[in-house]
Amino acid sequence: MARRDKADRIGNLLDQLYPDTPIPLDHRDPFTLLVAVMLSAQTTDKKVNEVTPALFALADTPQKLAALPAPVILAVIKSLGLAPTKARNLKAMAQRLVDEHGGQVPSDEAALEALAGVGHKTASVVRAQAFGLPAFPVDTHIHRLAARWGLSSGKNVEQTERDLKRVFAEEHWNKRHLQLIYFGREYCPARAHDPASCPICKWAAGKPRRVRARAKRPGKLTEKL
């Protein structure tokens, strides 16, 4: 089956399973979404949602967050992975928003990626979910699913993003990103997965293969996400 035909069939199934796609990270506006996405690196959405109420009670604007000392931010988010680096990045990100963007989160991709701790995936999530701009954020889980189903070569997340943008219509990119996240959690986990019982793998998956994402040294955030 051609990739585009396979993607159409997958998209139809995803629309049936997930007609509504709420953002799994609790937030109030573009700024709090940006903060939550930054905190979600190498951490579950559930854990992020447990700490953001306390953080947003202290600082729910760039001005307030920039004014907080990094140790105070760290004390609030210390239960998350890579907390010291995230605390420093959050403060620096907020300060740059104040200094260069009037305290507003920009929708421009380059401007977002210039912020501390904000890489292409995080910028794509904010552009898609905060501003409704077409983007297809690819994390390691979507990268794995795309390779498992033969929608991408699986060489790296950048190639996977390009491949998925080719096979899914642009107007569906934002919801497909979220639908794939929900589907992966419910039906298609990385481990202990039975392809025969998966609504998509049972017909779309090829032979098992190892999918490698860009390596990171354990315990240290080595790149923007």
Q: 109 and 131 in contact (C-beta within 8 Å)?
A: no
Residue-by-residue DSSP string for 96-148: HHHHHHTT-----HHHHHTSTT--HHHHHHHHHHHH--------HHHHHHHHH
- 121 as an active site residue: the answer is yes
Residue 224 has pLDDT above 60, yes or no: yes
Q: List pLDDT tens digits, range 11-61.
A: 999 999 999 999 999 999 999 999 999 999 989 999 999 999 999 999 999
The average pLDDT across 139-168 equals 94
Distance from C-alpha of 25 to C-alpha of 35, rounded to nearest angstrom: 10
- For the chain, what percent of residues have pLDDT higher than 90? 85
Q: What is the pLDDT, as a whole number, of residue 215?
A: 41
Q: What is the pLDDT, as a whole number, of residue 207?
A: 59
Q: List pLDDT tens digits, range 142-154.
A: 999 999 999 998 7
- pLDDT bucket at 172, cuts 50 / 70 / 90: very high
Q: Is the dihedral of CA 182, 184, 185, 186 positive or negative?
A: positive
**SS3 of the chain: helix, strand, coil, percent, to 5:** 60, 0, 40
Looking at residue 170, the DSSP 8-state letter turns out to be G
Query: Please, what's the b/e burial string for 49-87 (b: 16 or more CB within 10 A of its CB; e: otherwise)?
Result: bebbeebbeebbbbeebbebeeeebbebbeebbbbebbb
Q: Is the dihedral of CA 215, 76, 33, 96 positive or negative?
A: negative
Q: Does domain 3-21+136-204 fall into CATH 1.10.1670.10?
A: yes
Catalytic residue among 60, 64, 99, 121: 121
Q: 160 and 147 in contact (C-beta within 8 Å)?
A: yes
Catalytic residue among 5, 29, 78, 139: 139
The average pLDDT across 88-100 equals 98
The average pLDDT across 163-185 equals 97
With a CB cutoff of 8 Å and minimum separation 6, the contacts of 155 are none
52 or 1, greater pLDDT: 52
Q: List pLDDT tens digits, range 199-218.
A: 999 999 875 545 444 444 44
Region for residue 192 given its phi and psi (left: phi exceeds 0; alpha: psi -120 to 50; beta: otherwise): left
Outline where DSSP puts E strands in the chain: none
30-131 belongs to which CATH class? mainly alpha
Each domain of the chain, given as residue ranges in start order, spans 3-21+136-204, 30-131
